[in-house]
Amino acid sequence: MGPIVSDHTDDFEAWQVQLHGHRAIYHMAGSGPPVVLIHGMVNSSRHWRSVALSLADRHTVIAPDLIGHGDSATPRGDYSLGAHASSIRDLLAVLGIDRATIVGHSLGGGVAMQFFYQFPQRTERLVLVSSGGLGREVSPLLRSATLPGAAALLSLAAHPRLLSGLRRGGDRLRESGSRQGVYLQAIARALRPLEEPGARTAFLHTLRSVIDIRGQRVSATDRLYLLAGMPTLIVWGERDRVITVRDADVYAELIPGSRKVVFQDTGHLAMLERPDAFNALLRELLEE
């Protein structure tokens, strides 16, 4: 285990560890009670940088690249929610961390819930951000990516020239004050690892484990009552087009004692679109 070259400054340093013979990458910042940040589909730990740095003065923040995502290995194997949750448990064991607040975005929300179901004694609090795992409704784009031929389309989407254009377009939009630039930059960051065939295969395995052409295949509705007594925060964007805000209402209804916060004029990436408000909300929960 040791640090590796990171494309960010040392305040969000990248580290590498071997888990069951496979390379796992995680970013780490700060010191104090631990917080784990789990990214979503076609995302990576880099999406959490501003959140990690906001919390680092009082917390140890761990943001892993899920296996098959970011810079972690892309082995032929199990990419189910349970497998991802077990990998996070194994990473925390290597780091000597017994309990942590678990924060999950989109697919990461499903992983976070699965982590709690499998390892409740290791879960301090739970934060679900535009979380998957509830009913069929999901973006048509993700549904279509489960069809045959998706691998060839991903190869085209991850072409270096296209990624460079997305980055430049995102920079220009953000400079002009448009929050759409956040999305273009996030897409470019997410697609970069998919230049490698193994990463594209891992992405499709992960996607097809939770989504098919009819929508989400995994539903947590029959187990959400188990979260009674677990401090749970539900965060959503009012204009989320990937997983609609209606799911936030259902989560809040089915998780006893949970708290729901909906950001107005915000889409699927609340932590990037509303970083100050999101970070303040998370700090408030952690300080309770």
pLDDT at 266 over 70: yes
Give the closest residue to 68 by CA, choosing from 76, 60, 56.
Answer: 76
Instruction: Tell me if residue 176 is catalytic.
Output: no
Per-residue pLDDT reduced to its tens digit, 209-246: 666 556 555 666 778 888 999 999 999 999 998 888 99
Torsion of CA 143, 201, 186, 16, to 10 degrees: 140
pLDDT at 8 over 50: no
Least confident stretch, 16-20, 58-62, 258-262: 16-20
Residue 189, CA distances (Å) to 40, 43, 61, 114 in order? 12, 7, 21, 26
Per-residue pLDDT reduced to its tens digit, 156-203: 555 566 556 666 776 676 677 766 666 666 666 666 656 666 666 666
pLDDT band of residue 42 (cuts 50, 70, 90) is confident
**Per the structure block, which two tokens stand in for 52?**
């990690």
CA torsion sign for 241, 245, 251, 254 is: negative
Per-residue pLDDT reduced to its tens digit, 49-107: 999 999 999 999 999 999 888 889 888 778 888 889 999 999 999 999 999 999 999 98
pLDDT band of residue 16 (cuts 50, 70, 90) is very high
Q: Give SS3 for 160.
A: helix
From 69, 84, 105, 268, active-site residue: 268
Q: How is residue 192 annotated by DSSP?
A: G
pLDDT at 120 over 90: yes
**Per the structure block, which two tokens stand in for 76?**
């032929």
From 106, 130, 131, 209, active-site residue: 106
Phi–psi pair at 199, nearest 5 degrees: -70, -40
Q: Which domains does the chain have, with CATH numbers?
A: 2-138+216-287 (3.40.50.1820)
What is the pLDDT, as a whole number, of residue 79?
A: 80
Q: Where are the alpha helices (DSSP H) in the chain?
A: 49-55, 81-95, 107-118, 140-144, 150-157, 160-175, 180-191, 197-210, 246-254, 270-273, 275-287
Return left, alpha or beta for 68; rule: phi > 0 is left, psi -120 to 50 is alpha, else beta. left
From 65, 71, 240, 247, active-site residue: 240
Per-residue pLDDT reduced to its tens digit, 190-203: 666 566 666 666 66
Single pTM value for the model: 0.78
Instruction: Tell me if residue 106 is catalytic.
Output: yes
Which residue is it, tokens 């290791």?
A: 122
**Per the structure block, which two tokens stand in for 97?**
């961390």
